[in-house]
RNA sequence: GCCCGGGUGGCGAAAUCGGCAGACGCAACGGACUUAAAAUCCGUUAUCCGCAAGGGUGUGCGGGUUCAAUUCCCGCCCCGGGCACCA
């Protein structure tokens, strides 16, 4: 009889259709006692199509979900649709389609592809963070934050991407370029913008990182620590000599203040312009532009101008010159510094360059003050030449001097963060409208809750250039003031789409709720997320915003968890054939649909799991993909040709070998699922099992075959669901296979007959012997010394020591 | 400059707690089957010396600890990522 061969298209499509017909299979029941919440965050392509990165991301989560299902847990496993907005709008403009329609059709396509991959995705739940109902709750949150002072509008220097024609948050600017347009320089503009006060949570966001250690990758945590950038110091007011204005500076080294020899302002500092003539103003303007152009360079060449003004040091009354320096940042601290050239490398460079005096005031604990300063001494030491503070240790002086400043009202201890408030205004159509109304009389007025959601009009002309298309839509803009009833205008900025992604995984647990963003009791059952799976690219974007959002929701009393996810897994990228990240512009993209057609969904999934451990980047090598297909074919043939076979007469040897390997494999795969998710080794173990079964096949009895076949299929189910389902039904069983209990292993059956003990002489392997397990040390040593092959290596030498590791190894040390 | 990762055959990788380096797969080569090819099945495959038996070397480099190091410690080199005149 000719053997059946595995026709992936026919078989996968068959199950695909049945699974779609019975969507209830995938539904999770949050009332059960064993909930597990996994989220696979997949940043979709603007085209809305799956790419290999998505396939890998979801294959990891799906394998886990299927395994946990088989373990009796209820698993909720949505995928994130985050950041669907801006890319979708850009792609829609390019394709001359309306973004709403474009996105809806993309979602349909993507869903279909998800289904075709055989992902256990509960498609009855809609996340659709682009739908009006989701906007309602974005807006609702926004109003609540406004009430709490967490949302505000102000004129500020912001990042503007000319290509996106919108403002960007700091997190979306990478080395001075737009995160979406690698070659577009971001400009600085002063605009009225909406912000969320993430800085209010900066301290907690930083401190709570401790609690994430172990559950989150160190790489991500260290990026977040860097990004938040907490720095403890003090703010001190210098006094402008001529006007009496206070110039507030931030310093981490108030103990060095007697060594301050000038005050340096950022070029954008508001005090600067009035001090300068036209030529000076022009130089400042040039300085700002130069800086912007050098944004991607490491070192900026220092430049400065003396303003002609002087300021007084509040500690010693000293009169010091006020300069403008291009290296002083307006956006950090107070935009002004006191320069202490003797104890700060940058100040030293600046002051040396411009001939400003240098005065040391800190000596090393076991050293002297230098007569002339050749380089900055930036470490802590002992304060000198500082009036009453002289003789104090730096750390002590920092505290006492900050206290003194506070007492006298010219400063205080202060903490500065690198992270800035989250600018969420976007001058785009595609996003949640910010629910505010501008009234000539009443100012900025929130839209009353009852009028939510403010929905996007559909009849807009999308240009992608200049201001939001909403601003040109009179029936959207013109409204009446909810407070005084006079004609007024709507806010036309929309929210950053990272707002959507900040809490979508909460909404997903309760997607149809019309009374609130979600039901708190339902959230409490699922949260925190047991496992969040995503790319490392979001370490300081999405993953910091959603932590912030969680803390705000907690303080609003909506949830009780402090963090969104207990565990974070960052999967590696799928690299193109040339070894670099897959991207359309490089033309090294592999189309999943093409691969599914060619090899089947199961093969693709096995390959992305087998090629490398999931946290590592993996290359897409098509030649290797065939190997996974070969494996599936081997399994298929083995099961189908043995399903009805009579089997050999009971054969202790072949049966024992097969059953032993089976039990060892169950143990290995189970351990990989619980310890680490190195599915590559799990799949390798399955291959070993199949190889062993091929070798033992002839001699296997019917009884052994019946033991092996179903368990083999179950072991395969988390990784290759289609073939598992098909073979499960070939075995005459009823599915779905992922609701079957996970096979247990028997430690006794997994045991080898005898322990193979390695014999070493001076650490080199010279022989090996088979001994019964648990043989005691003395016996084992005797056997080892008696082994003729090994003896040859220590004959004539004296045995110094024998190290015995039971069941494993004997090392004979000789001289 | 600071902070995280990483470096193992021709290639992807494995070795989970200090105990046989290279499991599993790809590619390559050989054999069986076939008129032939594909497919399939069975082998070989770190490297050097050797006809072979066998032996030497080998996890980026240099040291150290240990009976024993891919694994631990110290000092370097290289690659990737993050932060960066952040006061």
pLDDT in tens, A383-398: 999 999 999 999 899 9
Q: What pLDDT does A345 receive?
A: 87
Which of residues 408-467 of A have CB within 7 Å of strand B?
Answer: 416, 418
Asked whether residue A174's C-beta has any atom of DNA/RNA strand B within 7 A, the reply is yes
Backbone angles phi, psi at A701, to 5 degrees: -80, 165
CA of A432 to C1' of B24 (A): 50
Length of chain A: 815
Q: What pLDDT does A441 receive?
A: 94
Higher pLDDT, A116 or A3: A116
- Assign A413 to helix, strand or coil: strand
Query: Count of CB atoms within 10 A of residue A276's CB?
Result: 17
Helix ranges, A26-97 (H): 52-70, 85-94
Six-digit token string for A552: 């705000």
pLDDT confidence of A341, banded at 50, 70, 90? very high
pLDDT in tens, A84-99: 566 677 777 778 888 7
pLDDT in tens, A3-24: 778 899 999 999 998 888 777 6
Which of residues 245-284 of A have CB within 7 Å of strand B?
Answer: 250-253, 266
Query: Count of CB atoms within 10 A of residue A304's CB?
Result: 23
- Section A28-36 average pLDDT: 72
Report whether A552 contacts A201 (CB < 8 A).
Answer: yes
Report whether A780 contacts A806 (CB < 8 A).
Answer: yes
Q: What pLDDT does A367 receive?
A: 83
Closest residue to B20 measured CA to C1′? A758
A523 has pLDDT over 50? yes
User: Which nt sits closest to A539, CA to C1'?
Assistant: B82
Q: What residues are paired with A250 via a beta bridge?
A: A235
CA of A389 to C1' of B11 (A): 67
Q: What pLDDT does A512 receive?
A: 84
Report whether A449 contacts A140 (CB < 8 A).
Answer: yes
Residue A665: partners with Cβ closer than 8 Å, 6 or more residues away? A685, A686, A688, A689, A715
Report whether A727 contacts A639 (CB < 8 A).
Answer: yes
Helix ranges, A184-295 (H): 202-207, 209-212, 218-228, 272-275, 278-293
> In angstroms, how far is the first alpha carbon of chain A from the final one?
66
Q: What pLDDT does A163 receive?
A: 78
pLDDT in tens, A635-684: 999 999 999 888 877 777 889 999 999 999 999 999 999 988 899 999 99
0.95 exceeded by the pTM?
A: no
* CA dist., res. A582 & res. A483, Å (int): 53
A295 has pLDDT over 60? no
Closest by alpha carbon to A410, among A532, A248, A570, A523? A248
A399 has pLDDT over 50? yes
* CA dist., res. A174 & res. A379, Å (int): 32
* CA dist., res. A189 & res. A427, Å (int): 13
A297 has pLDDT over 60? no
> What is the DSSP secondary-structure string of A683-722?
HHHHHHHHHHHHHHGGG-BHHHHHHHHHHHHHHHTTT-HH
* CA dist., res. A809 & res. A118, Å (int): 47
A266 has pLDDT over 50? yes
CA of A616 to C1' of B6 (A): 10
Query: Count of CB atoms within 10 A of residue A98's CB?
Result: 18
Query: Helix (H) and strand (E) counts for chain A?
Result: 26, 32
Q: What pLDDT does A540 receive?
A: 80
pLDDT confidence of A83, banded at 50, 70, 90? very low
Report whether A36 contacts A74 (CB < 8 A).
Answer: yes
CA of A358 to C1' of B75 (A): 37
With 0-12 / 13-18 / 19 or more C-beta atoms within 10 angstroms meaning exposed / middle / buried, residue A355 is: exposed
Which of residues 291-330 of A have CB within 7 Å of strand B?
Answer: 298-302, 326-329
Least confident of A510-519, A544-553, A658-667: A510-519
Closest by alpha carbon to A813, among A795, A798, A794, A800? A800
Asked whether residue A609's C-beta has any atom of DNA/RNA strand B within 7 A, the reply is no
pLDDT in tens, A176-211: 777 777 777 788 788 889 999 999 999 999 999 988
Q: What pLDDT does A532 receive?
A: 92
CA dist A753 → A267, A653, A689, A784 (Å): 80, 11, 18, 19
Whole-number mean pLDDT of chain A? 87
pLDDT confidence of A804, banded at 50, 70, 90? very high
Closest by alpha carbon to A432, among A126, A137, A47, A105? A137
- Section A749-756 average pLDDT: 90
Positive/negative CA dihedral, A570, A574, A578, A579: positive
CA of A530 to C1' of B8 (A): 34
Which nucleotides of strand B are protein-proximal, with an atom < 7 A from a CB?
1, 3-5, 11-16, 19-21, 23-27, 39-43, 55-56, 67-69, 80-87
Query: Count of CB atoms within 10 A of residue A490's CB?
Result: 20
CA of A777 to C1' of B74 (A): 36
* CA dist., res. A161 & res. A167, Å (int): 6
E-assigned strand segments in A293-401: 304-312, 319-325, 336-339, 362-363, 382-383
Asked whether residue A675's C-beta has any atom of DNA/RNA strand B within 7 A, the reply is yes
Q: What pLDDT does A238 receive?
A: 96
pLDDT confidence of A294, banded at 50, 70, 90? low
Q: What pLDDT does A187 receive?
A: 80
CA of A195 to C1' of B81 (A): 29
Q: What residues are paired with A626 via a beta bridge?
A: none
CA of A533 to C1' of B81 (A): 19
Six-digit token string for A82: 């985050």
A755-761 and A809-814 strand pairing: parallel
- Assign A269 to helix, strand or coil: coil
A583 has pLDDT over 70? no
Six-digit token string for A303: 């430049």
**pLDDT over 70, % of chain A:** 93
Which of residues 485-504 of A have CB within 7 Å of strand B?
Answer: none
Q: What residues are paired with A770 via a beta bridge?
A: A756
């Amino acid at each position: 009889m000719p053997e059946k061969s595995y026709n992936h298209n026919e078989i996968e499509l068959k199950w695909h259709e049945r699974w779609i017909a019975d969507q209830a299979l995938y539904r999770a029941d949050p009332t059960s006692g064993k909930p597990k919440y996994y989220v696979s965050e997949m940043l979709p392509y603007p085209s809305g199509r799956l790419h290999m990165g998505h396939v890998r991301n979801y294959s990891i989560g799906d394998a886990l979900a299927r395994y946990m299902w088989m373990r009796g847990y209820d698993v909720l496993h949505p995928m994130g649709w985050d950041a669907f907005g801006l890319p979708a709008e850009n792609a829609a403009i390019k394709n001359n389609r309306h973004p709403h329609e474009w996105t809806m059709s993309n979602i349909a396509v993507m869903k279909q592809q998800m289904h075709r991959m055989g992902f256990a995705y509960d498609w009855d739940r809609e996340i659709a963070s682009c739908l009006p109902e989701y906007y309602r709750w974005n807006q609702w949150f926004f109003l609540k934050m406004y009430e709490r002072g967490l949302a505000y509008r102000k004129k500020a220097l912001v990042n503007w991407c000319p290509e996106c024609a919108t403002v960007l948050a700091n997190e979306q600017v990478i080395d001075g370029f737009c995160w979406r347009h690698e070659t577009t320089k971001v400009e600085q503009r002063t605009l009225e913008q909406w912000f969320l006060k993430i800085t209010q949570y900066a301290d907690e966001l930083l401190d709570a990182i401790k609690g994430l250690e172990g559950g989150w990758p160190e790489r991500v945590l260290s990026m977040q620590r860097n990004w938040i950038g907490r720095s403890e110091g003090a703010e001190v007011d210098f006094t402008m000599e001529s006007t009496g204005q206070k110039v507030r500076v931030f310093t981490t080294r108030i103990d060095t203040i007697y060594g301050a020899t000038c005050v340096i302002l950022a070029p954008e500092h508001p005090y600067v312009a009035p001090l300068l003539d036209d030529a000076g103003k022009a130089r400042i303007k040039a300085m700002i532009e130069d800086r912007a152009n050098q944004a991607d360079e490491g070192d900026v060449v220092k430049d400065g101008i003396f303003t002609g003004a002087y300021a007084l040091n509040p500690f010693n009354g000293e009169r010091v010159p006020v300069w403008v320096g291009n290296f002083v940042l307006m956006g950090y601290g107070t935009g002004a510094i006191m320069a202490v050239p003797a104890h700060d490398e940058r100040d030293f460079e600046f002051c040396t360059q411009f001939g400003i005096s240098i005065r040391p005031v800190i000596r090393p604990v076991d050293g002297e003050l230098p007569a002339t300063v050749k380089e900055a001494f930036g470490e802590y030491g002992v304060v000198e030449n500082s009036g009453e503070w002289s003789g104090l240790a730096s750390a002590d002086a920092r505290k006492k001097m900050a206290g003194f400043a506070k007492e006298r009202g010219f400063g205080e201890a202060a903490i500065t963060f690198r992270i800035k408030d989250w600018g969420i205004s976007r001058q785009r159509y595609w996003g949640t409208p910010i629910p505010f109304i501008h009234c000539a009389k009443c100012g900025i007025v929130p839209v009353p809750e009852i009028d939510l959601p403010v929905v996007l009009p559909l009849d807009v002309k999308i240009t992608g250039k200049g201001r939001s298309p909403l601003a040109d839509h009179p029936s959207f803009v013109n409204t009446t003031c909810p407070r005084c009833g006079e004609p007024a205008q709507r806010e036309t900025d929309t929210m950053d789409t990272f707002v959507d992604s900040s809490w979508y995984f909460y909404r997903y647990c309760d997607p149809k709720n019309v009374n609130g963003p979600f039901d708190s009791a339902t959230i409490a059952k699922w949260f925190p997320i047991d496992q969040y799976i995503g790319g490392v690219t979001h370490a300081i974007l999405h993953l910091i915003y959603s932590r912030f959002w969680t803390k705000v929701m907690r303080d609003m009393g909506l949830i009780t968890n402090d963090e969104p996810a207990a565990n974070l897994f960052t999967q590696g990228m799928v690299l193109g054939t040339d070894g670099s990240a897959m991207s359309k512009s490089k033309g090294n993209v592999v189309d999943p649909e093409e691969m599914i057609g060619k090899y089947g969904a199961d093969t693709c999934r096995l390959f992305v799991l087998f090629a490398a451990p999931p946290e590592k980047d993996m290359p897409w090598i098509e030649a290797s993909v065939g190997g996974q297909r070969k494996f599936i074919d081997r399994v298929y043939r083995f099961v189908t040709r043995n399903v009805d076979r009579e089997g050999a007469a009971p054969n202790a040897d072949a049966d024992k070998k097969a059953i032993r390997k089976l039990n060892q494999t169950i143990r290995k795969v189970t351990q990989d699922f619980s310890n680490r998710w190195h599915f590559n080794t799990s799949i390798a173990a399955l291959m070993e099992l199949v190889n062993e079964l091929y070798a033992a096949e002839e001699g296997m009895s019917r009884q052994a075959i019946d033991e092996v076949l179903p368990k083999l299929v179950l072991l395969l189910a988390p990784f290759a669901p289609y073939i598992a389902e098909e073979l499960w039904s070939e075995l005459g069983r009823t599915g779905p296979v992922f609701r079957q209990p996970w096979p247990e292993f028997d430690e006794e059956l997994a045991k080898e007959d005898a322990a193979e003990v390695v014999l070493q002489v001076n650490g080199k392997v010279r022989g090996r012997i088979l001994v019964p397990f648990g043989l005691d040390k003395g016996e084992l040593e005797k056997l080892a010394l008696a082994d003729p092959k090994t003896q040859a290596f220590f004959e004539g030498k004296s045995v110094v020591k024998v190290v015995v590791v039971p069941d494993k190894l004997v090392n004979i040390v000789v001289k």
